[in-house]
Amino acid sequence: MRKLGLLVGVGLGAGLAALALAAWTQPPAAQAGATLTGKVKFTGTKPAAAKIDMSEEPKCKAKYQTPPTDEAVVVNANGTLADVFVYVKSGLPASYTAPAPAGPVTLDQDGCRYHPHALGILVGQKLAIKNSDGILHNIKAKGTKNRPFNISQPTTMTSERTFTAPEVMVPLECNVHGWMHAWLGVLSHPFFAVSGTDGSFTIKGLPAGTYVIEAWHEKYGPQTATVTVTGSETKTADFSFAAK
């Protein structure tokens, strides 16, 4: 009986130790902060996207099996809306400082379209503007809080630029190809995401607090939601845009 008691005791102790060890070895960053996730729904009739005539650019045209269409409104197969920029508009403590950006954010010009079509970047983070097409593009940023720029890229090359002030959104465009538009959200924190091909988005690592979350779409404008998160919980905030 005493033996059994000892065994159980040792077993319990070992188990606790193992648990403690497991808890200790988990990287704290992954646990820190709450997660906000959600879907961007789309209701109403999906607008017909205009076909883009790329016959002036055979190199780009050759990259498509079916004629490419305008990207202003991209409704996914599951009825959700892609390319919606979702971000923390307000609620972060004044003392918050963003971690140093890991590396540049890449915007690729491929097939006479921007990839991605909507994206976010930190103030001071490098935007690497890549021309994969090898034909003339110019990339023009038309921010109002940031100084603009307009660079010529007549060949396969990468140019880097940074932004100095938060701004949602900075329009990017190519004037050689009037259909090429991209939207860049410049923020002083990393709490942003873009709805993907399934309409979902995820923002991780939010400190506890109450936030105004904005979902921004180039045609349907902004929508906001207020969300309170604590600890490492996962909260859901869905948005819904209606056809106009």
Partner 1 sequence: MIERGLALGVALAVALVRGAFAAPGSLAQDTTAGKRVYVKWCAGCHGETGSGDGPAASAMLPRPRNFTGAIYKIRTTASGQLPTDADLLRAIDEGLPGSAMPAWKGRLTDAERRDVVAYLKTFSAFFADTSQHVVRLQFSNPPGGGTSTAALREGRLFYDSIGCRKCHGDQGRGDGPSAPTLKDDAGFPIFAADLHQSWRFRGGNTVTEIYRRLRTGLDGTPMPSFSDLIDQKFLTDEQLWRLAQYVRSLSPAEPPAVRDVLHARQITGAVPTAPDDSVWARADRYWFPLVGQVIRKARWFAPGVSGVWVQALHDGQTLALRVSWDDRTQSPDTVWLAFEQRLLQTVASDDSGAPRAEPWPDQLAVQFPRRIPAGIERPYFLMGAATDPVYQWRWTSAPRRAVAGLARGIERFDTLPAAPAAAAAYEHGEWRVVFTRALATPDTANEVQFETGRAIPMAFFAWDGSSGEHGSRMAVSTWYFLALDRPTPPGVFISPVVAMLVTLGLGLVVVRRAQRRVPTRSASINRKV
- Is 58 a binding residue for partner 1 by CB under 8 A? The answer is no
Write the burial class of residue 61 (CB in 10 Å: 0-12 exposed, 13-18 middle, 19+ buried): middle
CB of 146 to partner 1, least distance (A): 8
Amino acid at site 37: T
Residue 225: CB atoms within 10 Å: 16
Stretch that binds partner 1, among 36-44, 71-79, 93-101, 131-139 (CB under 8 A): 131-139
- Is 136 a binding residue for partner 1 by CB under 8 A? The answer is yes
Residue 38: CB atoms within 10 Å: 22
Q: Rule CB under 8 A: choose which of 31, 43, 78, 144 binds partner 1.
A: 144
CB of 103 to partner 1, least distance (A): 20
- Contact yes or no for 40/74 (Cβ under 8 A): no
Q: Rule CB under 8 A: choose which of 9, 44, 50, 56 binds partner 1.
A: 56
Element (H, E) at 19: helix 2-25
- Contact yes or no for 131/137 (Cβ under 8 A): yes
* For partner 1, the closer CB: 127 or 206: 127
CB of 114 to partner 1, least distance (A): 16
Stretch that binds partner 1, among 98-106, 120-128, 137-145, 201-209 (CB under 8 A): 137-145
Separation of alpha carbons 20 and 160, rounded Å:
46
Element (H, E) at 70: none
The two tokens of residue 65 are 């099996």
- Is 152 a binding residue for partner 1 by CB under 8 A? The answer is yes
Sites for partner 1 among residues 63-122 (CB under 8 A): none
* For partner 1, the closer CB: 86 or 139: 139
Residue 31: helix, strand or coil by DSSP? helix
Site residues (vs partner 1, CB under 8 A) = 56, 135-136, 138-142, 144, 147-155, 157, 159, 164, 175-178
